[in-house]
């Protein structure tokens, strides 16, 4: 049959729209299938990284399995008879718990596993407050398993080659993910040193003896304390007075205490909370320059200028 006279019909806009829609659906299905495949075939997440110290009131328990495990399947890990994770070779899992005796069990994962089925191997560990507990899942011949407590210095090395098990959810009562529980941060102390020569007339400690430039310094300090640090919980301010070694030990102690008390009172009048501030004097026991003469003279007065000071120590617990 001669087909030379036949003409190809142009695609209508409707047909083009339908074709594009079909292609988009197929692409979406393919991407979804690939995403599912990745989540199933790649159940391990990020490489192990040394965590911050355990919470002081909790214990962190880390279980891991070597990448060179004999069995290729997953191992079912239970804590106090409740499911924790299914560990693949080269995977690790951790949880944080209150101090207690913990029953850890492990068995090879089965397709029809009874939740009450006894584990292949079990280990009792005593988890104490702030303690790091490391347990290695050991594969033995004939599809048998064992649990071994590992010293932290050994575990840290072995864990570097493992990745977090991410495709399972812990069902252990009272446990929490360790990356959501951090220890209380260590308090941070900021020391602000003020020269008493700039604050007070020489040898004096009363409020009326504070010099104009000294008042300006204290006003700026009070503003800083009430704005920058006011929102920090449990913040404390300690005003410490220091004297030079000229004169008697007793008189230097009294002068340092009086100056610290005056500075603290001034800061309270300027808006610092009275229940957050305290003061003390340390006399000449903490000299900055110990080579200055201890006999009154113009030279010793000038040399001891660095020793006559008030230090405002601000301790804050930064979240």
The span from the CA of 225 to the CA of 237, in Å, is: 9
**pLDDT band per the 50, 70, 90 thresholds, residue 43:** low
The span from the CA of 265 to the CA of 258, in Å, is: 11
Residue 281: closest CA among 238, 237, 242, 236 = 242
Per-residue pLDDT tens digits for 45-87: 888 987 777 788 899 999 999 888 776 678 999 999 999 999 9
- Domain 188-316: give its CATH architecture: 2-Layer Sandwich (3.30)
The number of beta carbons lying within 10 Å of the beta carbon of residue 6 is: 8
Asked whether the predicted pLDDT for residue 236 surpasses 90, the reply is no
Q: What is the pTM of this model?
A: 0.46
Residue-range domain boundaries for the chain? 46-180, 188-316
Asked whether the predicted pLDDT for residue 28 surpasses 80, the reply is no
């Amino acid at each position: 049959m001669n087909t030379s006279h036949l003409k190809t019909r142009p695609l209508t806009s409707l047909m083009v729209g339908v074709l594009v829609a079909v292609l988009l659906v197929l692409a979406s299905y393919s991407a979804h299938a690939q995403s599912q495949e990745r989540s199933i075939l790649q159940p391990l997440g990020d490489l192990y990284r040394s965590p911050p110290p355990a919470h002081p009131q909790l214990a962190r328990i880390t279980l891991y399995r070597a990448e060179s495990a004999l069995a290729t399947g997953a191992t079912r890990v239970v804590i106090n008879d409740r499911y924790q994770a299914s560990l693949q070779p080269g995977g690790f899992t951790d949880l944080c718990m209150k101090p207690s005796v913990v029953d850890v069990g492990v068995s090879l994962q089965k397709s029809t596993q009874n939740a009450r089925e006894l584990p292949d191997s079990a280990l009792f560990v005593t988890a104490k407050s702030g303690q790091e507990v490391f347990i290695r899942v050991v594969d033995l011949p004939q599809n048998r398993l064992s649990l071994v407590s590992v010293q932290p210095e050994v575990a840290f090395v072995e864990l570097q080659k493992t990745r977090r098990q991410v495709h399972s959810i812990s069902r252990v009562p009272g446990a929490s993910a360790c990356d959501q529980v951090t220890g209380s941060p260590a308090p941070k102390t900021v020391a602000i040193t003020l020269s008493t020569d700039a604050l007070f007339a020489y040898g004096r400690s009363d409020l009326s003896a504070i010099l104009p430039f000294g008042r300006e310094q204290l006003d700026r300090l009070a503003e800083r304390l009430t704005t920058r640090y006011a929102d920090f919980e449990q913040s404390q301010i300690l005003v410490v007075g220091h004297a030079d070694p000229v004169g008697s030990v007793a008189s230097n102690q009294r002068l340092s205490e009086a100056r610290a008390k005056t500075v603290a009172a001034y800061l309270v009048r300027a808006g610092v909370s009275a229940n957050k501030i305290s003061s003390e004097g340390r006399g000449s026991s903490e000299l900055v320059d110990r080579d200055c003469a201890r006999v009154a003279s113009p030279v010793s007065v000038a040399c001891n200028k660095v020793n006559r000071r008030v230090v405002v120590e601000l301790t804050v617990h930064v979240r």
